[in-house]
Structure formats: C-alpha cells, structure tokens
C-alpha cells in the first residue's frame, strides 16, 4: 500500500513511519517542523537528540534497508499539499499534522490562533486534496478521547442513538473538550464528517487517549531512531512526565486531587492501531470512529505505579499535589467503550511495573540531559 | 448601553445598527467590507445601490439626529480588534462578522479556506478581546438553525438531556450541517462554548433561520438607508430570491422536490430578537441558545405563497423544479422548539400575502436593476 504520513516528524509520526515502512508499505512523510520550532521557541528540548527528518530516514535506511521519501512543507499551503498527493498517489493518508499541545493552545491569543488555523486549515486541505486527486483515498485522522470530555454517561465509540419524545436518530457522540487544542479536534471531526456526507469521503477517526512509552520494535536500541520524547509541562504527556520526574529525583506533579481519569495506551499500541486502521479501509461516505486506548487510570493511580516502579529500581519517589492549572473535573464518572480496534485484532501491551522500569532505565541513560526547570506547570487555563 | 456591532455593513448588520441606535443605545460599528468584496469578485450586485458605511451613518444622522461610530478593519487582526474594545468599552458585542454564504463556501478550496479561517479566527479574537478587556461583556453571536441539520427527532433550544444506559447528562443539541459555511457555525459554537466553560464568558447564541424581507421601521421609505438586498444564488436567501424572480417574470427556482423545510423570520423580527437578547444579558459562565425563527415552511410552500402574492398583483408566476445543486434531504421530519425569544417578548411579524406584496412592490421599483443572469444556480455541492 502507498501510505502518506502527514506530521511524520512527531512523537508518534516518526515511529509510525518506521513501523509502516517495516511492514512493507511504500511510505512518504511530510512535515514542516512546526513541533520542533514551537519547542525551540518555548526553550523545551526533548530528552534525546533528534536528527532531522532527512537524517532519520537515512538512519532507517541503514538499519532496515528500506526507503522512506521525505517532503518538507506546510500542509496549510494547498498547492504544496495537492502536489504531494499528485506525485505520490497514496492509497491511505495518515494525518498527524496538528499542533498537539493543550497547554500551548492556552498560552495566549497568538498560540490559540496558531493552533486553530493550523489544525483546521490543514485538515480542510487534506479533505480537498483527497477530493481533487482521488476521492477513494482512505483518510486516517488522529483524534483524541479528550473531545468527549468527561460526561456523566458511558462514552460510546463515536456515535450514539438518541431516543427523544418518542422518535430516534443516530448522532455523533456529544463532545465538550477541556482545552482549545482539544476543541480544534472536535472541529476537525465536524469538518471531516461534513465532507464525508457531502462528497462520500472515507474517514477513520482514531480517538486516542494519552500515549506513554518510548520504545517501538523498529528502534531496537538504536538511539538514532528514537522519537522525540518530551517531559515538560507543554509537550509531555502525563505518564512520560512522571517517569522523568521519578528518574530526576523530583516529586511527581499531580494536578489537584489527581482523580482525573482517562484511557491510556502504550506507543506500541498506537502503531498497531494505525496499521490496523490502514489495513481495513472504511467504505465510501463513512466516518468510522474508534476509541483508541487500552486501559483506564486516574492520574493518582499512574503516580502510584511510577512510585512502585521507582521502588523496584531503588529510587525513592515522592508525590506532590499542585494546585490544578487546568479547568477540569478532578472527580468524575468515566466509562468509555473501546471494542472496535480489539475486534480488528489489537493485542494490547498493558502497563506493568516491568514496562515502567524498562522505560525508566532507558530514561536514566540520559539523566544528565534532564532539565528540571521545565517540569513545573507555568501555563494556567485562566 | 454601549453596543459594538461587528459585521455591521451586511444585510442584517446595518439594519441592526440603525435599530439599536434608534432605541437610544450608543453604537459603534466595525466592518472590513468582506461581503462587498466577495460579491464584487463574483460580479453579484445587490438590488439597491448601497452607500459606504461612512456615508450610511451620515444618512442615518441626517434622518435621526443620532450618531453611529464607524471603524473599518478586519476582526481577524487581533491588535485592531482589541484596540476597538479598549477604545469603545462596550457592554455588549453583537457578532455578525462572518462569511455568510453557504454556496460561496462550496465553490472550491480557496473559498472554503477563506470561510473557515475568517469565521473561526474572527470568533476566537472576539472571545480573547472580551477576556482581555472586560470579561463581563455580553457576546451576542449569530448562529444558524442550519447547524442542527434535519434530524429525525425534535430540535430543542440549544441543549438536550440524554439518558443513556441508566445515567443522564445535558449536552449541546447534536449538530450536523449541510454546507461548509454552516459547519463553521457549528465550530464557532464549539469555540465559544469552550471559553464559556474555561473563562466564564457570557454568550447568547442566536440560532437563526433564513431571513426574508427588506423593510425595517428605521428605513421609512428612505432609499439611502436600505440594506444590501441580494437575490442571486450565492448571497440571496430563498424567499428573497423567489420575490425577485416573480417580479422579473422568471420561473421560481425550486431546488429538487422543494420539501426542504426550515424555520423562517422577517428581518424586522431579527431586529427584535437581537435587541431582546442585548437587553437581557445572560449570566457569567453561561451559553444561552435561542432558536430564532417564527414560522416553519417548506420551499414549495414559500413558492406557492409567492405565486399567490403575484396573482394579487396581476403577475403570473411559474414554478420550476431544478435538479438540486445541494446535498440535502428533500423530504424529512422537522420540528424545532422556539420558546425562548417569545418568552422575552418577541412579537412575530408573520408571513402573509400582504407582507409579500409590500416587498414585491418595493422590488418592482428597482426592476430595471434586476440581473436575470445571476438567478440560476451554478454552484454545486459535489
């Protein structure tokens, strides 16, 4: 299959490129280094040095013998994006090319505007490029479980049948997110769902929970193939942040009561899910939604698990409850359905002390690169 | 009250400026002439000549003795918009400043991008300007009934309580629109609802149906105060188009079967509704939604009413069923609730043969300006 990966330089994008290339697909990757530029502007380095995308595909070629094509450019530039589609003629496009940070999107008007325009204009352009070059292309879009928020009813997989005053209809499951970034993901869904109905596009929306981990099979201890691992308050996801905090010997930063509950998954399972979605395209005029996570934890449960893993390694780990910088419920009902990807064949890599220890040991090798000054939250939602 | 009107040069914006000024409010109006520029690019003149906004406020001053301040600029330019808020210090902002045409938004990638970025970036900037200058300002946002689409259940006023697997919660009523333009209005709602929850903003969302008519009390036969009346396929709303077609002696362009059913209102009632919303601000941290229309008609019913009005004037009116250029249901259930504005005091101006004849007679005075070549639909949704 010919697979175009947009935003393929990111935390998940680059491992996805290697994974799909390794599975024998022809892969082209597009990125404009937005994530790197933003992190640079915010002075937030990743834990490992990350080569340029051009160098990465060279290291991958050396390790695997396989070729990945690279195009550096902005998918908000429609002539550029359409040209990439015309040249590569993909069967599937995987769309990661968004500003991915919730705290960044809450920094101020400029950052909010950048997030809004980048994420929506990019997604619009993907829909148009597919329509104008080959409407049969399967769009696999990374969404987020955060679109649903924390409703007081069970979260279904994308859609819900509503019975009201004796009549029934099927709707997108209601969405109400907790940040501007997450709101742009709701808006992406609005956009793609509209073009699915109007033009008969094929779209899979992967509603992903927070991802943890670092290793994927393709890296095999080859540091040059590592992904960009962030642990700061802006780009780091919660469990990866806790892992680095534990290794660095600083208290784990639990926001508020720590009862915030979400569905999590290992980065290896992200790769499985994306590959399964690509291998099983959806029909014309259909928006298919999968809730992409494997286990549900509260923030406090994660912190406790990291403490236990630390103990196993002889590291004393402290927890520290900070005033919550976000506007969110700290105690709430949470019961999301997640059948679809299991039915397609997902074999979950669950979270264990052993898994945590393995990641923490890897992080410890780079302990001298940890910047303790970027760990505490500075961005508030108000 | 100090009222800032964004997009105050448009079909509804200008009559709103005069109405609120006439009621004794201090009014400042902002526009960047986007609507005029787009219509110029598409070669789609309005039926009456429309003076510039600066000239309009002069004519209004001459007619009423009242002053309206004008600022020409783009609300997507945040420093400009924030400056306007700082200078005028409004109590209420009325936000009409959007690309308003569904067919325009379906013309191609460029027009879609312009619609998306203009409407969302503008709305984001309004939220930020309110937050950063005075979070107490009441935002009155024009939404559209088109956000709801045509679901098979009754449409509630903004929110719905969903009972699911024995648990309950309250959500925004599900939305699924029929054009990219209407989708941007859903996305606006997502955006404002998020900042209402995060920052405690006060927002009233007026989910308006298609507006018909031309006269408002402030115009009083003074042609220089007329609003921009469009009858073309891109900027004209359906009943106004039928009126001009009848006067011009061309068949009424009924798309498809004509069973498309919507809630309509007279332009005079738009003014009442906006004034009522402004007079009754909503509480902090609340999104209040009103369904803004007075009567429900199918396209075919409207066409028949115009035919009857034509008969009363001695004009023979023909109906012509055209292949539907849009993707929409032509036969569907439609039962939207609309209590809120009635409870605030709305006195509806209902649609009668007499009302139609009055509008048609006014249009007939400008019969020689009707351009028959811009009446037939050319934009398709595919």
**Integer Cα distance of B138 and B91 in angstroms:** 6
Q: Distance, in angstroms, between B103 CA and closest chain A CA? A: 13
Could you tell me which chain A residue has the CA closest to the CA of B189? A187
Helix (H) or strand (E) holding B187: helix B180-199
pLDDT at A376: 84
Catalytic residue among B96, B181, B195, B255: B181
Q: What share of chain A is helix, strand, coil (3-state, %, to 5)?
A: 40, 20, 40
Upper half-sphere CA count for residue A101 (Cβ side, 13 Å): 26
Rounded to 10 deg, the angle between the A267-279 and A13-22 helix axes is: 60
Q: Which of A157, A182, A183 is nearest to A170 (CA)?
A: A157
Question: If pLDDT is split at 50, 70 and 90, which confidence band does A378 have?
Answer: confident
Taking contacts as CB-CB distances below 8 angstroms, the residues of chain A near B128 are 109, 112
Q: Which of B71, B43, B44, B70 is nearest to B57 (CA)?
A: B70
Contact B194 A183 (CB under 8 A): yes
Token pair of B119 as six digits:
């409407």
Q: What is the pLDDT along chain B (382 residues), one digit of tens a residue?
A: 999 999 999 999 999 999 999 999 999 999 999 999 999 899 998 998 899 999 999 999 999 999 999 999 999 999 999 999 999 999 999 999 999 999 999 999 999 999 999 999 999 999 999 999 999 999 999 999 999 999 999 999 999 999 999 999 999 999 999 999 999 999 999 999 999 999 999 999 999 999 999 989 999 889 999 999 999 999 999 999 999 999 999 999 999 999 999 999 999 999 999 999 999 999 999 999 999 999 999 999 999 999 999 999 999 999 999 999 999 999 999 999 999 999 999 999 999 999 999 999 999 999 999 998 998 888 899 8
Q: What share of chain B is helix, strand, coil (3-state, %, to 5)?
A: 40, 20, 40
Q: How many CB pairs under 8 A join A and B?
A: 132
Q: Tokens 């969903």 identify what position? A: B162
Where does residue A188 rank: exposed (0-12), middle (13-18), buried (19+ CB within 10 A)?
buried
Q: Which of A77, A113, A84, A96 is nearest to A14 (CA)?
A: A96
Token pair of B354 as six digits:
């007499």
**From the candidates B112, B123, B160, B335, which should be mutated to test the interface with A, based on the most A CB atoms within 10 A?**
B112
Q: Tokens 């998306």 identify what position? A: B116
Please, are residues B71 and B28 in contact by the beta-carbon 8 Å criterion?
yes
Question: Using DSSP, how many helices (H) and how many strands (E) does chain A show?
Answer: 12, 14
Q: Distance, in angstroms, between A379 CA and closest chain B CA? A: 14
Q: Distance, in angstroms, between A259 CA and closest chain B CA? A: 19
Catalytic residue among B133, B144, B237, B270: B144
Taking contacts as CB-CB distances below 8 angstroms, the residues of chain B near A120 are 116-117, 120, 187
| pTM (whole model) above 0.90 | yes
**Integer Cα distance of B115 and A17 in angstroms:** 33
Please, are residues B363 and B288 in contact by the beta-carbon 8 Å criterion?
no
Domains defined for chain B, CATH in brackets: 2-374 (3.40.50.720)
pLDDT at A220: 84
Phi, psi of A153 (to 5 degrees): -120, 165
**Integer Cα distance of B14 and A25 in angstroms:** 58
Helix (H) or strand (E) holding B162: strand B159-164
Q: Is the pLDDT of residue A170 over 90?
A: yes
Contact A190 B193 (CB under 8 A): no
Taking contacts as CB-CB distances below 8 angstroms, the residues of chain A near B163 are 153
Helix (H) or strand (E) holding B183: helix B180-199
For A145-279, strand residue ranges (E) read: 159-164, 167-172, 202-208, 211-212, 252-255, 261-266
Token pair of B16 as six digits:
């709103």
Residue environment code for A240-274, b if the CB has 16+ CB neighbours within 10 A, otherwise e: bbbbbbbbbebbbbbbbebbbbbbbbbbbbbbbbb
Catalytic residues of A: 144, 181, 185
Token pair of A244 as six digits:
């680095």
**Integer Cα distance of A154 and A152 in angstroms:** 7
Told to judge if B189 belongs to the known catalytic residues of this protein, a careful annotator would answer: no
pLDDT at B382: 85
How far is CA A217 from its chain centroid?
Answer: 18
Token pair of A335 as six digits:
């019961």
HEC profile of B127-158: HHHHHHHCCCCEEEEEEEHHHCCCCCCCECCC
Q: Which of B45, B13, B35, B192 is nearest to B114 (CA)?
A: B35
Could you tell me which chain B residue has the CA closest to the CA of A191? B183
Token pair of A3 as six digits:
């697979």
Contact B333 A167 (CB under 8 A): yes
Catalytic residue among B185, B189, B212, B255: B185
Please, are residues B299 and B264 in contact by the beta-carbon 8 Å criterion?
no
pLDDT at A183: 98
Question: If pLDDT is split at 50, 70 and 90, which confidence band does A219 have?
Answer: very high
Could you tell me which chain B residue has the CA closest to the CA of A113? B121
Contact A113 B132 (CB under 8 A): no
Phi, psi of A365 (to 5 degrees): -60, -25
- For residue A364, CA distances in Å to A304, A313, B46 come to 19, 11, 70
Mean pLDDT, range A91-111, rounded to an integer: 97
B187 → closest Cβ in A177, A180, A187 = A187
Contact B78 A117 (CB under 8 A): no
Which of A38-42, A173-177, B251-255 has the lowest average pLDDT?
Answer: A38-42
Taking contacts as CB-CB distances below 8 angstroms, the residues of chain B near A169 are 151-153
Contact A172 B169 (CB under 8 A): no
Task: Name the CA dihedral angle for B292, B298, B304, B309, rounded to a multiple of 10 degrees.
Answer: 0
Please, are residues B270 and B219 in contact by the beta-carbon 8 Å criterion?
no
Token pair of A240 as six digits:
């990866």
Could you tell me which chain A residue has the CA closest to the CA of B76? A113
Where does residue A286 rank: exposed (0-12), middle (13-18), buried (19+ CB within 10 A)?
middle
**Integer Cα distance of B312 and B358 in angstroms:** 11
pLDDT at A100: 95
Helix (H) or strand (E) holding A353: helix A353-364
Span between the terminal Cα atoms of chain A, in Å: 46
pLDDT at A135: 98
Contact A190 B190 (CB under 8 A): yes
Contact B172 A168 (CB under 8 A): no
- CA-based Rg of chain A, rounded to a whole angstrom? 20
A124 → closest Cβ in B116, B152, B164 = B116
Report helix, strand or coil for B289.
strand
Contact A169 B152 (CB under 8 A): yes
Please, are residues B134 and B69 in contact by the beta-carbon 8 Å criterion?
no
**Integer Cα distance of A349 and A362 in angstroms:** 18
Contact B109 A128 (CB under 8 A): yes
**Integer Cα distance of A265 and A263 in angstroms:** 7
**Integer Cα distance of B2 and A342 in angstroms:** 57
Task: Name the CA dihedral angle for B352, B353, B357, B360, rounded to a multiple of 10 degrees.
Answer: 80
Mean pLDDT, range A297-318, rounded to an integer: 97
Q: Distance, in angstroms, between A148 CA and closest chain B CA? A: 11
pLDDT at B332: 97
Assign residue B256 a region: left if phi > 0, alpha if psi is -120 to 50, beta otherwise? Answer: left
């Amino acid at each position: 299959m010919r697979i175009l990966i947009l935003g393929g330089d990111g935390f998940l994008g680059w491992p996805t490129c290697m994974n799909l290339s390794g599975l024998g697909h022809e892969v082209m990757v597009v990125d404009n280094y937005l994530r790197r530029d933003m992190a640079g502007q915010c002075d937030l380095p990743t834990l490992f040095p990350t080569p340029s995308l051009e160098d990465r595909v060279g290291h991958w070629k050396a390790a695997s013998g396989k070729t990945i094509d690279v195009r550096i450019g902005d998918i908000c530039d429609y002539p550029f994006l359409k040209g990439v589609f015309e040249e590569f003629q993909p069967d599937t496009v995987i769309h990661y090319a968004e500003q991915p940070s919730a705290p960044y999107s809450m920094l101020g008007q400029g950052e909010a505007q950048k997030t809004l325009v980048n994420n929506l204009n990019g997604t619009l352009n993907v829909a148009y490029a597919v329509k104008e070059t080959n409407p049969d292309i399967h769009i696999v879009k990374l969404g987020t479980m955060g679109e649903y928020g924390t409703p007081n009813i069970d979260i279904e997989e994308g859609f819900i049948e509503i019975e009201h005053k004796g009549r029934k209809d099927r709707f997108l499951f209601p969405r109400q997110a907790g940040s501007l970034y997450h709101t742009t993901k709701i808006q992406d869904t609005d956009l793609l769902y509209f073009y699915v109905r109007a033009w008969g596009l094929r779209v899979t929306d992967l509603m992903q929970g927070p991802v943890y981990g670092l290793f994927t099979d393709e890296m095999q201890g080859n540091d040059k193939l590592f992904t960009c691992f962030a642990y700061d308050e802006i780009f780091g996801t919660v469990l990866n942040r806790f892992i680095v905090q534990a290794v660095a010997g600083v208290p784990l930063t639990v926001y508020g009561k720590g009862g915030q509950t979400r569905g999590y998954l290992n980065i290896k399972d992200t790769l499985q899910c994306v590959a399964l979605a690509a291998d099983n395209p959806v029909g014309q005029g259909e928006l298919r939604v999968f809730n992409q996570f494997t286990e549900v934890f509260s923030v406090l449960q994660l912190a406790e698990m990291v403490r236990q893993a630390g103990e196993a390694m002889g590291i004393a780990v402290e927890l520290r409850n900070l005033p919550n910088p976000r506007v969110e419920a700290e105690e709430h009902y949470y019961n999301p359905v997640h059948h679809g990807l299991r039915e397609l064949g997902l074999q979950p890599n669950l979270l264990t002390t052993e898994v945590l220890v393995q990641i923490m040991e890897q992080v410890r090798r780079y302990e001298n690169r940890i910047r303790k000054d970027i760990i505490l939250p500075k961005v508030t939602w108000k």
